[in-house]
Amino acid sequence: MHFLYDNDARFVFNFIRSAINYNCNAVNYVESLRSVRNTQGEWQTQLRNTRNGETFEVRSTVIINACGPYVDQQNKISELTTEHRHVFSKGIHLIVPRITKNERVLTFFADDGRLFFAIPMGNRTMVGTTDNRVSTPETEVTTEDRHFVLDNINKRLNLAKPLTEVDIISERCGVRPLVIKTGDQNNKNEEWIKLSRKHAVDVDWERKHISIFGGKLTDCLNVGEEICEVVQQLGTHLPYPKRKWYGEPHEAIRDEYLHQVHLMGLDELTSAGASEVLSKRLWRRYGAQAIGLLENIRENPDMVEPLIEGSDYIRCELTQATRREMIVTLEDFLRRRSKLALVARHEDLKNSQGIKDACEILFGEDAPERWSEYFGE
């Protein structure tokens, strides 16, 4: 079983970053409005920049609809029918102060018989999840969800002080798109519980359209390979050799990194509140790029200071974020790249000088606007 939560946004972004390095054009904050097939047999897709409202069009021979929970909605707009469709299962997690010194993921069965986890997340613990059928992808955490998670963790662990809502630092909420056949109703509870988490790929061979339904993040490389196969069968030659998508850089790079770490005594600079030593953190998150961060620290030792007290994110990581991480909003930075909004309370972020500095470094003269967009001031 794989657990990605501690770092799943980072894991996904590293794929995007690698794809850009391999010559892919990746854009964010661009929405696909509709795709139509023109008389020359090409797809014309209307796109909208959601930040400034500008619209434009791209042409392609093949379309891959990988809109997650929105696959059906997008297909409907483009007038496509498919063999499969989605139903939605809502899952929430609560992030609380670390509840055990144990570094392992703790696994239980919840009251409803489903798996339930306490996952270490630095100085925090992420607890959950729920698995409730919902009718749309837009959901939020309800009081009932919170009580379910708190009651279950309190029953399963003998904590010195039971967790209450006051202990909640942040929350996560999402829907798992689960795959069923288009004609199936799936109304019975026992059918719902048994639904597979495996993905399905539907291909409209004539119109050259591919839809990806459901699936697990841990299976994403296999899904990618399956899609490349189909794209080639649809007549598009993929000229690229197989690429390396994950794993550590070459041993020689790691040895060089560790040598430099040792010479500059990096780990002795780790802050008291950090949950892991600096050399481990930087290597885990940035791989070969971490050598560049060492250079920043040598030039300015203040760069090892945590951006906000008690967090692991240090100032030099911001230089990396500004250049390489496609950050458009403060939420991108706090929630999707650095995880700070998961491990610190909203009010603490708002009052933090480190976050104000980060906002200025990231957005320059647009910083006040980006700040009020996130904190609502």
CB of 256 to ligand FAD, least distance (A): 33
- Closest of 99, 92, 101, 193 to residue 153, by C-alpha: 99
289 and 320 Cβ atoms separated by less than 8 Å? yes
Beta bridge partners of 34: 46
CB of 78 or CB of 270, closer to ligand FAD: 78
Is 249 among the residues that bind ligand FAD (CB under 6 A)?
no
If one asks whether residue 26 binds ligand FAD (CB under 6 A), the answer comes out as no
> Which residue from 9, 19, 62, 66 is in contact with ligand FAD, where contact means CB under 6 A?
66
Q: 200-227: b or e for each residue (b if 16 or more CB lie within 10 Å)?
A: bbbbbeebbbbbbbbbeeeebeebeeeb
Three-state DSSP state, 96: strand
224 counts as binding ligand FAD under rule CB under 6 A: no
Ranked by CB distance to ligand FAD, the top (closest) residue is 68
Size of the site for ligand FAD (CB under 6 A): 21
Report if residue 70 touches ligand FAD, rule: CB under 6 A: yes
**Binding region for ligand FAD (CB under 6 A) out of 13-21, 212-220, 272-280, 328-336:** 212-220
For residues 81 to 100, the per-residue mask of contacts with ligand FAD, x marking binding by CB under 6 A and - elsewhere, is ----------x---------
CA distance 89 to 153: 21
Q: Does 175 bind ligand FAD (CB under 6 A)?
A: yes
Provide the H-helix boundaries in the chain: 8-21, 71-77, 143-156, 189-194, 220-233, 251-264, 278-286, 290-299, 316-324, 330-331, 340-343, 346-350, 353-363, 367-375
Least spacing, CB of residue 151 vs ligand FAD, in Å: 18
Shortest CB 347 distance to ligand FAD, Å: 26
Cβ-contact 99, 125 below 8 angstroms: yes
Token digits of residue 235: 């007549």
Least gap, CB of 70 to ligand FAD (angstroms)? 4
Structure tokens at 284: 């885990």
Q: Examine residue 139 and tell whether it contacts ligand FAD (CB under 6 A).
A: no
End-to-end distance of the chain based on CA atoms, in angstroms? 43
Point out which span in 138-146, 169-177, 313-321, 353-361 binds ligand FAD (CB under 6 A): 169-177
Reading the block at residue 264, the tokens are: 């500059």
The yes or no reply on residue 152 touching ligand FAD (CB under 6 A) is: no
Decide: 157 and 116 in contact? Cβ < 8 Å: no
Least separation, in Å, of the C-beta of 205 and ligand FAD? 22
25 with 47: CB under 8 angstroms?
no
**Closest CB to ligand FAD among residues 32, 319:** 32
Q: Which residue lies nearer to ligand FAD by CB, 174 or 292?
A: 174
Instruction: For residue 15, state whether it binds ligand FAD (rule: CB under 6 A).
Output: no
Q: What is the DSSP letter of 306?
A: B
Q: Does 129 bind ligand FAD (CB under 6 A)?
A: yes
Q: How far is the CB of 199 from ligand FAD (least distance, A)?
A: 8
The two tokens of residue 50 are 């959601």
| Listed ranges 108-116, 173-181, 262-270, 346-354: which one lies at the site for ligand FAD (CB under 6 A) | 173-181
- Residues forming contacts to ligand FAD in the complex (CB under 6 A) are 2-4, 31-32, 66-70, 74, 91, 129, 174-176, 212, 215-218
